[in-house]
Amino acid sequence: MAAGARAPGSKPVRGRSIRASSRCMNATTDRRSPPCALVIFGASGDLTARKLLPALARLAGYGALPTEVTLVGVARTPMTDDEFADRCRRSVSGDGPPRWEDLTAAARYVSGDYDDPATYQRLSEVLAECDQRNGTAGNRVYYFATPPRLFGPIAVSLGKAGLSVPAGDSFIRAVIEKPFGWDETSARELYAELSSAFVEDQIFRIDHYLAKETVQNLLALRFANSIFEPIWNRTWVDNVQITVAETLGVGERGGFYETTGAMRDIVQNHVLQVLSLFLMEPPTSFHSEAIRDEKVKLLRAIRPLDEEAEIAANAVRGQYTRGGTREDLMPGYRDEPGVDPLSATETFVAMRLEVQNWRWTGVPVYVRTGKRLPARLTEVAMQFHRPPQLPLFPGTAEGLEPDALIVRVQPDEGLSLRFGAKVPGHAFRVQKASMDFSYESFEEQSPDAYERVILDALIGDPTLFIRADEVARSWRIVDPVMQYWAGGGRPIPLYQAATWGPSEADALIARDGRRWRHSA
Ligand code: BG6
């Protein structure tokens, strides 16, 4: 790490990073899938084309998918095996590695309605053929890449068709995309439907944020070092800020987003998962259950905002309107395709949460997410208490931001420690400087989040997947706020595209005498 001073108003001067040395292999080179049929429901859909197939092509390139792994697509669109193979190849730019060519050439496809028993009968026959011809050994991973309303019915149908119970030593797993339900009640209903076919150990609920390299680095940062632990508590930390900011609007996903909104799309899952990893107690081991136990304990320590007045004071929503520059004018949310022109769906959320446990009581956790904000940026920042005697540096240090440890999840993945340093010269002036670590300093490339979740599901490592109790507890935190907003009352606050959200969000944190790390 190296330090660099910063002139007021300028960007932080990043010091030269020390080349990180690592004896670890690339995470994927020493991990291989066992024999398995990977069945993708929603095989003709957008998620499959954009994320799953490119991730599979890369995994094939690393040698992580042996010849006993077979791809089986299921969807309503009629297609032959060859047409599906073609579609797979077209989803990947350029020539895939030789193993990808083999994998697609051997791919199978089943078309049919998801509620038609004949679809599952056909799937059962295809899977039996895969076991016989390709050696998939009765192992199956079902990847639910369909619209969420189909998750339950597909699971129930798999159960009825006898396709969810593993025989002998084989395994069967169900990988479920988010959102897992729309609130606590519907999440429990979905769980009941899934449970008619699968036991909890078979269910892998995805949150692709957990598979981001920098999010996993939170574990290394906290538990592979001894210097941070002593300051990781209310004695040293003044507040925590978690930001998930996107520059994009909802684009073509207006119809989906209308039923979701930023709270369900980002806060209930990505934000609360990152928050719980960052603030949880040290797990007793790195076993998946030990980590997930600590995460759920942390989520239980977050006090849900129950009273209306409390919600009004601690949760802010917003929706973007037309904005940007004359050259780059961005439409408002209500003008996006598929969006109700009178929509009250939130595209922005800011909240002040409290973690009520021995370590964090009294440390506010401010979370903020939004679409059409001025920067694409996800970070977790811990701001430390100010020094007790700022008057030692009269007139120079009062306006300084507090010292902070910032985990940059994306982009420019890395870590910064911000602190005050003397500006060279005769006057005693203090400015903020920064010690930076960048992931670019590693020779190894970070695997894409989807590569990791697919390989983990094939291998059977549930650490980066969300357990049922975590899901229920996360809904318990956001549900009262969603209900309060749905109840009407004040109209939704608006913010112009390419700004940092409505003024109410600034007021929320200003009330505590603090400000967002990024604001206008
Ligand atoms: C998804 C949300 O889970 O995460 C999207 O549904 C959002 O609305 C996306 O854009 C952000 O993911 P990433 O990896 O680009 O930060």
- 423, 429 Cβ separation under 8 angstroms: yes
What ligand 1 atom has the least distance to the C-alpha of 378? 16
Alpha carbon distance 432, 411 (integer Å): 22
Residue range 345-357: average pLDDT? Answer: 98
Alpha carbon distance 64, 46 (integer Å): 24
* CA 35–ligand 1 middle distance (angstroms): 31
* Chain mean pLDDT for the chain: 90
Alpha carbon distance 462, 171 (integer Å): 14
Alpha carbon distance 366, 352 (integer Å): 5
For ligand 1, atom 9: residue with the closest CA: 266
Q: What is the pLDDT of residue 392?
A: 64
Alpha carbon distance 24, 441 (integer Å): 14
Q: Verify whether ligand 1 is closer than 6 Å to residue 265 (CB atom).
A: yes
- Ligand 1 pocket test: pick from 47, 266, 474 the residue with the most ligand atoms within 8 Å of its Cβ: 266
Domain boundaries along the sequence of the chain = 27-206, 210-385+467-510
Q: Verify whether ligand 1 is closer than 6 Å to residue 246 (CB atom).
A: yes
User: Domain 210-385+467-510 is in which class?
Assistant: alpha beta
Q: pLDDT tens digits for 436-487?
A: 999 888 888 888 889 999 999 999 999 999 999 999 999 999 999 999 999 8
Is 385 an annotated catalytic residue?
A: no
- 417, 433 Cβ separation under 8 angstroms: no
- 69, 160 Cβ separation under 8 angstroms: no
* CA 202–ligand 1 middle distance (angstroms): 25
Pick the CATH number of 27-206 from 3.40.350.10, 3.40.50.720, 3.90.180.10, 3.40.50.11720: 3.40.50.720
* CA 17–ligand 1 middle distance (angstroms): 29
Q: pLDDT tens digits for 281-325?
A: 999 998 999 999 999 999 999 999 989 999 999 999 999 999 988
Q: Does 20 score more than 70 pLDDT?
A: no
Instruction: Tell me the whole-structure pTM to 2 decimals.
Output: 0.90
- What is the phi/psi pair of residue 163, to 5°? -105, 10
Give the residue ranges of the annotated binding site for substrate. Answer: 208, 212, 246, 265, 371
Look at strands 2-5 and 429-438 and give their pairing.
antiparallel
Q: What is the pLDDT of residue 394?
A: 64
Secondary structure (H, E, C), 173-198: EEEECCCCCCCHHHHHHHHHHHHCCC
Alpha carbon distance 347, 499 (integer Å): 12
Handedness of CA 229, 233, 235, 236 (dihedral sign): positive
Q: Verify whether ligand 1 is closer than 6 Å to residue 436 (CB atom).
A: no
pLDDT-derived band at 360 (thresholds 50, 70, 90) equals very high
Q: Which residues are paired to 243 by β-bridges?
A: 368, 379
Residue 417 parent element (H or E): strand 414-423
Q: Does 3 score more than 50 pLDDT?
A: no
